[in-house]
Amino acid sequence: MSFFNTLCRTSSIMSFRFLFPCRGFHITQAQLLYSPSAIGIDSYLNTRKRIKEQFANHSDKFRTKMNDFVSDSKNMIFTEDLKNIVHIAEPTDLDLVVQMVKKFNTQKTEFRFSSFVFGPIVMRMFYFLDAPTQALQCFEDPGNSGFFDQLVSYQILLDLLYNHQMYDDMYRIFEKVQEKQINMTKFPKYPVVLILAACYKQNTAQSMEYATRIWSEMVTVGTVPLRRAATFMAALSLNQGAPHVALESIALQKPHYITIRNIRAIALAQMGRVDDALPVLKGVLEIDRPDQKDKHTFFEETIDKIREAVDKTENKGIKKEFENIEKALKDRGLIDTQTLDQLITSDITIRTEKPNLLPKGMPKMPFGMRQRKKNLE
């Protein structure tokens, strides 16, 4: 039997089913933002498989011993103990894990010689076991101060909370990120994406105010957000009737990305600037080629919103121009049924550049000859 059986994705909804020898399976269903591989779940699973195989015949005995250790002040929790329990843990072991983490973090440091960083591993365990409440409890326990002081630990926790629509808890955790300023940054890029995703999902006047404050502070200190952060900010602004804010949010982003050009076209239409929106549509017609693999498209909803703005103008010339553009887009297959919401909430896979395998001293292929990245964002 394989270590995990299926990893299914339907739109932005993912289902995981991990199968273990001689055991049942654990299933979670949630709307993800970062893909499991982007937050290191793959490596956690590989180690988990290996350690579970090592403990196949004595895992219950080990659990009993660890329960005795956490209840007796004379016994210590060693690095290897915690590493093992984190990688064999089932949902019924979560209370034990939480107790072991606290004891490990509070016992005398002079007896700890390992520099192993546990925060991200423990968070990956909570993520895998789909345990946001226990993860939050463990993270916020004063006895675990410093244990999760790694940006990736914050990112995994925020993503887990996002999966369960625990947006108010996300705000509280993000404020801790800002207070800690780990790696000397108040606006770490991946947590910023997640908190703006939470603001977008809540889509309230309060979440808009919160997102705007964060955005303004980033602009003030010269922080350039990731494109996904910009699209969340812009999409929220569109939903909240602030197209001018949406335009400013994407001002520094490259216009050829599908999310950026659709947001720009919608924002201009909402502002009544149809004469500026139509050139955005025409722009893809000018660069489109029959043999082009990655088409530059617009969403149906974008075309609909521009049509509404065109109808309000009562300008026959603009109406005729729009009809001609719409027909050309349809004829060339440049209108997509996907929605802006579906695309910006789709899971994020952090790409790593493949190593150069050419012999030493041989130059890399010119950039123009490399395979182009698909225009999906």
Query: What are the tens digits of pLDDT across the range 147-205?
Result: 999 999 999 999 999 999 999 999 999 999 999 888 888 999 999 999 999 999 999 99
pLDDT of residue 214: 96
Tens-digit pLDDT profile for residues 300-350: 999 999 999 999 988 899 999 999 999 999 999 999 999 999 999 998 886
The three-class DSSP label of residue 335 is strand
- Give the span between the Cα atoms of 250 and 263, in whole angstroms: 8
258: exposed, middle or buried (Cβ count in 10 Å: 0-12, 13-18, 19+):
buried
H-type alpha helices, the chain = 41-54, 59-71, 79-88, 94-106, 119-128, 132-140, 151-163, 167-180, 189-202, 205-221, 227-239, 243-249, 258-270, 274-287, 300-313, 316-331, 340-344
pLDDT of residue 32: 75
Q: Which DSSP letter does residue 2 get?
A: -
- Give the span between the Cα atoms of 19 and 374, in whole angstroms: 33
φ, ψ for residue 168, nearest 5 deg: -65, -35
Is the pTM above the cut of 0.85?
Answer: no
Domain ranges of the chain: 254-377
- Give the span between the Cα atoms of 174 and 140, in whole angstroms: 12
Q: What tokens does 372 get?
A: 């182009």
What count of other Cβ atoms lies within 10 Å of the Cβ of residue 333? 10
Tens-digit pLDDT profile for residues 9-28: 332 323 343 333 333 334 34
What count of other Cβ atoms lies within 10 Å of the Cβ of residue 67? 15
